[in-house]
Structure 1
Amino acid sequence: MLTGTVWAGTVQADNPFDELDSEVTAVYSSAQTEQEEYLQFVLAYMNEYENWRSQYLREYDAYRAQIIEKWGDGLVSEPLVTVDYSRDQKTRTVVDLERNEAIVAVLVEPNMLPEEAEKAVKQAAKTVMGESGSTLASVVESPKVLESGSVVMVEVNYSNVTETAAKKVIQAQTRTQLQEIEKESEALVAQLGATVSTDLIDTPVVASAIEKKKVQLLQQEQLRIKKLEKTYQIVRQQAAKQPPKTVMEYRIKLPANGIGKRAAKYVGFAEQESQRFDIPAALVMAIMHSESSFNPKAKSPIPAYGLMQIVPTTAGRDVNVRIRRKDEPMSPAELYVADVNVETGTAYLNILDKSYLKAITNDESRLYCTIAAYNTGAGNVAKAFNPDGSRKIYKAAKIINSMTPQQVYDKLMADLPYDETKHYLKKVSTRIRLYEKHSA
């Protein structure tokens, strides 16, 4: 029997548990190191996105400042409105597929007579029509359409109303990019899932990184708005010292049946990728209709590109990693190629349907969630169902699987975090039925 004295002496002289203590310490130290390394990796990975986004926004704002100086309104492309400027930025072409009209405009030179300005803008319209790859040429089948256009002279406007509209573009851009940050994190977690322990994935590391990036983006928004205000202040001062600037516009009504003819060009791509990725062709067509109105050169300020409005660093990179086996964003040049864009968009729908949302058992319920996730990410879909606001889709799937498809749709329409996504879900769901009927 060991006495207290002998035990004490043994501990002091040669503790048999010293080795165990050091091993336990090493395990905890290793776990802490792994956690820290994981955090650093997540932040570094997300910084790649941040650097890309910051560079894009700097170039975007610098270009827009030039446009504001010349044209007043800083008009740039949106998904359904393509805006192109000539190299010297003195000619502008706007193709609005929502209003079904196009406007070719030229800045009127000082001392130019109205009839000279009218002649110049009509010539500009013919020039744009003759340019290879121009959006106007792609939606106007015959130059004869130009003959029905009307000419209007307008003054360049640097008003507060114009400035407010320019600010709203930045605010809308920020709202959408907040969602893209969430999509980036989802792709990162999915990519790490096979190589990092589940308990690390479930820690708040990624959530913390997301919030940090969101705060930075919102701070950047305020700086961008202040810079925009300064731009308008400067151009107003300049304008006050000069005669009023005017623009001659040539307004053209586009053919009424244009969307049907544009859609027909891409049915083959949709059907081909539908078979390859097991995604309904009607869904692919409905998303093209809603995202770009079948304009392969569509661009939004996010930025997103092409027929299915692919963001290079989120959906583009996700498809590259999973399908093409390369970890890099896609380029705008790639995404302006129609078949590549449709392939990428359909592959991303497959990733959402077969991977991120696979725990949802009912096909129709999963379809509604896939449509919403295409716009806002799977995490925001989960938030609509999880009472605690969790972004975990497996947790949300348990709730979704207890509901009917109609209940799922109604819940999404009521509780999705962004109104834009609610409108998007309604539009695409309605248009799916249109293309199902068309193909029947």
Structure 2
Amino acid sequence: MKKNRKKSMIFVLILTLLLVVLNLKNIVKTFYPLNYKEYIETYSNEYNLNPLFVAAVIKAESNFQVDAVSKRDARGLMQITPSTAKWAASKLRIDNFDINSLYDPELNIKIGCWYLNDLCKEFGTDTTVILAAYNGGRGNVNKWLSNKEYSKDGKKLDYIPFKETDQYVKKIEVNYNIYKFLYGQDGDYIKFLKLVFSKFLL
């Protein structure tokens, strides 16, 4: 009787673990959502970006909170500062632009994607350099690239001297890989589990 009961408990436990593993993607998707998918895809395509890369940036910047405001007064989903927003709005010829418009998901994503694309035009396709510029400023990145201590070839960053920017880049790179697994074609569960665990070790 006790043996049968123990076997039943083990069976239930194994079945529960299997269900958890099989539903792992759905569980993790609650922590890594793809909100505003239509806007992300529209403006990622317009500005030659991978939509999942943009989603990874939004996740790190605001955790998909439209009303997010940083200590530096960066606002909205992609945490755009007022000065960058005004400059981008003039380039995009957005009439009657108001800083509070950054709380509008569509406009925020449009400006954010345009800005990432603008950084791509200056720095190329290296995501580490682009993300470092998005967070630490393009002026600082240009200084780092011209310094042999931080860049051996003047194109890639071997070392990022700002700790906050370095952690930011690593965080988004992990986010990006998780998003590719959850919403893309990458079905490698072992790789995915390593990514999830590395996220908590950053």
**Could you tell me the TM-score, scaled by structure 2's length?**
0.68
Specify which of 347, 350, 360 is matched with residue 114 of structure 2. Answer: 347
Counterparts in 2 of 1:305 and 1:325: CA distance versus 1, 3 Å: closer
Q: Is the 8 A contact 1:302 1:311 kept in 2?
A: yes
Q: How does 1:175-324 map to 2 (within 5 A)?
A: 260=30, 263-314=33-84, 316-324=85-93
Say what the alpha-carbon RMSD is for the aligned residues: 2.8
Q: Is the 8 A contact 2:132 2:169 kept in 1?
A: yes
Whole-Å separation in 1 of the counterparts to 2:94 and 2:39: 22
* Residue of structure 2 in register with 1:35 after alignment: none
Whole-Å separation in 2 of the counterparts to 1:353 and 1:419: 22
Specify which of 177, 183, 201 is matched with residue 439 of structure 1. Answer: 183
Counterparts in 2 of 1:388 and 1:296: CA distance versus 1, 3 Å: same
Q: Is the 8 A contact 2:60 2:172 kept in 1?
A: yes
Q: Is the 8 A contact 1:284 1:346 kept in 2?
A: yes
Q: Is the 8 A contact 1:305 1:335 kept in 2?
A: yes
Whole-Å separation in 2 of the counterparts to 1:337 and 1:275: 19
Amino acid at match of 1:423: Q
Question: Offset of 1:292 from its aligned partner?
Answer: 0.6
Whole-Å separation in 1 of the counterparts to 2:148 and 2:69: 36
Post-superposition CA distance 1:32-63 (Å, at most 9, x none): xxxxxxxxxxxxxxxxxxxxxxxxxxxxxxxx
Whole-Å separation in 1 of the counterparts to 2:177 and 2:30: 15
Post-superposition CA distance 1:313-332 (Å, at most 9, x none): 12x12311322267x9x533
* Equivalent position SS for 1:426: helix
Which structure is higher in RCO with an 8 Å CA cutoff and minimum separation 6?
2
Counterparts in 2 of 1:334 and 1:436: CA distance versus 1, 3 Å: same
Amino acid at match of 2:100: A
- Structure index of larger Rg: 1
Question: Offset of 1:379 from its aligned partner?
Answer: 2.0
Specify which of 104, 117, 120 is matched with residue 337 of structure 1. Answer: 104
Whole-Å separation in 2 of the counterparts to 1:397 and 1:341: 35
Question: Offset of 1:380 from its aligned partner?
Answer: 1.4
Question: Offset of 1:399 from its aligned partner?
Answer: 2.6
Q: How does 1:414-429 map to 2 (within 5 A)?
A: 414=159, 416-429=160-173
Amino acid at match of 2:146: N
* Residue of structure 2 in register with 1:67 after alignment: none
Runs of at least 4 residues of structure 1 off by over 6 A?
none
Counterparts in 2 of 1:346 and 1:301: CA distance versus 1, 3 Å: same
* Residue of structure 2 in register with 1:377 after alignment: 137
Question: Offset of 1:261 from its aligned partner?
Answer: 7.4
Whole-Å separation in 2 of the counterparts to 1:309 and 1:384: 23
Task: Note if 1:399 corresponds to 2:168.
Answer: no
Whole-Å separation in 2 of the counterparts to 1:427 and 1:267: 21
Counterparts in 2 of 1:436 and 1:388: CA distance versus 1, 3 Å: closer
Post-superposition CA distance 1:86-117 (Å, at most 9, x none): xxxxxxxxxxxxxxxxxxxxxxxxxxxxxxxx
Whole-Å separation in 2 of the counterparts to 1:296 and 1:348: 18
Counterparts in 2 of 1:274 and 1:433: CA distance versus 1, 3 Å: same
Q: Is the 8 A contact 2:64 2:77 kept in 1?
A: yes
Question: Offset of 1:352 from its aligned partner?
Answer: 0.7
Whole-Å separation in 2 of the counterparts to 1:265 and 1:385: 35
Amino acid at match of 2:43: E
In structure 1, runs of 5+ residues without a counterpart are 1-256, 390-395, 401-407
Amino acid at match of 1:424: Y
Question: Offset of 1:418 from its aligned partner?
Answer: 1.5
Whole-Å separation in 2 of the counterparts to 1:259 and 1:294: 13
Question: Offset of 1:263 from its aligned partner?
Answer: 2.6
* Residue of structure 2 in register with 1:14 after alignment: none
Question: Offset of 1:398 from its aligned partner?
Answer: 5.7
**Could you tell me the TM-score, scaled by structure 1's length?**
0.33
Alignment coverage as a number of residue pairs: 158
Counterparts in 2 of 1:348 and 1:438: CA distance versus 1, 3 Å: same
Question: Offset of 1:372 from its aligned partner?
Answer: 0.9
Whole-Å separation in 1 of the counterparts to 2:148 and 2:63: 37
Amino acid at match of 1:350: N
Q: Is the 8 A contact 1:262 1:294 kept in 2?
A: no
Counterparts in 2 of 1:430 and 1:308: CA distance versus 1, 3 Å: same
Question: Offset of 1:388 from its aligned partner?
Answer: 7.4
